[in-house]
Amino acid sequence: MELKINHQTKQFSADTLSVQSLLDLEIPNKQNGIAVAINNTVVPKINWSQHLLQETDEILIISATQGG
């Protein structure tokens, strides 16, 4: 499966991935302070496990940072 994540194209061996599975692969040690948008629509964290990704999806992963 080929996905566009934060404007970069990446290849994955799985035929189907949920948002949660993608995050487990991409950022396994950071699951708090994350927001995910698929095709410019935010996916609530409660739906990450059920939301399946399609090859045409554009995924934006945003991580909160500290600072001021």
pLDDT band at 2 (very low <50, low <70, confident <90, very high): very high
Residue-range domain boundaries for the chain? 2-63
Superfamily designation of domain 2-63? Beta-grasp domain (3.10.20.30)
Instruction: Report CA-CA distances (Å) from 16 to 21, 45, 48, 52, 66.
Output: 9, 19, 13, 7, 34
Q: How far is CA 10 from CA 31, 47, 55, in A?
A: 20, 23, 10
| Neighbour-count burial of 5, counting CB atoms closer than 10 A to its CB (0-12 exposed, 13-18 middle, 19+ buried) | middle
pLDDT digits (tens, 9 = 90+) for 14-68: 889 999 999 999 998 887 899 999 999 999 999 999 999 999 899 999 988 776 5
- The structure's pTM equals 0.87
